[in-house]
């Protein structure tokens, strides 16, 4: 397993409200919201609670057990952020996205809440594996707008699902078998909102190492404006043949 992490405050923000997790098997990116300090607290608390609650399960556990463990960990993370927001007036309304990946041998699970993303690069092709929980994504699903318009829509930042904003939340949890050479990218929208998928694909495929890819992705997002915090985790569950 190879992986690397980058986070950057961006060009305009006064504080980095993103948080990340990478322990070799469990990885996550969380993008906090709720104003100065509160977003940072929401994302950090969510990942701390999520990681402690998840465990993770014993290696080789049945897929259903892993799926259930991820769902429970998301629930407890939501409980923690929601309770903290209710406890302190300054934190009212805070919340966070969560995009998490768990790797067990050649199987990879994802848990998704919000608009941070997971991409899969396989055989030179980039696929967005998560679905954004946003108003514009719902509009796309209804056929009201297309992907191109969604990128510039004035309501593109309206999130319809997040940790901590409501008493309950449902995560999208799913898995798929990893293939040798796959590269998985988790990122906050500080990256995905600034870079077209083809740019992300090109940077990932042209970089000699994961570290080089991570550096180049952050640099490209900054060059494209860099208004938001930028956080990413890149992992390669199974090394390419001959690596």
Span 205-218, pLDDT tens digits: 999 999 999 999 99
To the nearest 10°, report the CA torsion of 189, 28, 2, 103.
-130
CB-CB contact of 237 with 182 (8 Å): yes
Kindly report the backbone phi and psi dihedral angles of residue 111, in degrees, each rounded to the nearest multiple of 5, phi listed first. Answer: -125, 130
Task: Calculate what percentage of the chain has a pLDDT beyond 90.
Answer: 78
Give the pLDDT score at 241: 63
In this structure, of 18-32, 147-161, 211-225, the range with the lowest mean pLDDT score is 147-161
Domains of the chain with bracketed CATH: 2-236 (3.60.40.10)
- pTM here is 0.93
């Amino acid at each position: 397993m190879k992986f690397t992490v980058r986070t950057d405050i961006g060009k305009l923000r006064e504080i980095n409200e993103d948080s990340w997790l990478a322990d070799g098997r469990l990885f996550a990116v969380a993008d906090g919201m709720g104003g100065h300090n509160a977003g940072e607290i929401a994302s950090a608390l969510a990942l701390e609670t999520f990681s402690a609650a998840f465990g993770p399960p014993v290696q080789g556990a049945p897929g259903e057990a892993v799926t259930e463990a991820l769902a429970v960990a998301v629930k407890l993370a939501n409980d923690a952020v929601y309770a903290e927001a209710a406890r302190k007036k300054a934190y009212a309304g805070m919340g966070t996205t969560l995009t998490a990946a768990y790797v067990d041998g050649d199987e990879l699970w994802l848990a998704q809440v919000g608009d941070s993303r997971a991409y899969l690069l396989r055989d030179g092709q980039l696929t967005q594996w998560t679905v954004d929980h946003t108003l514009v994504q719902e509009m796309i699903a209804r056929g009201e707008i297309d992907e191109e318009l969604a990128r510039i829509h004035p309501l593109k930042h309206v999130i319809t699902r997040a940790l901590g904003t409501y008493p309950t939340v449902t995560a999208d949890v799913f898995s798929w078998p990893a293939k040798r050479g796959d590269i998985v990218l988790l990122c906050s929208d500080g990256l995905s909102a600034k870079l077209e998928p083809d740019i992300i694909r090109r940077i990932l495929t042209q970089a000699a190492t994961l570290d080089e890819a991570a550096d180049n992705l952050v640099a490209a997002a900054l060059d494209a404006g860099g208004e938001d915090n930028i956080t990413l985790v890149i992992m390669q569950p199974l090394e390419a043949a001959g690596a």
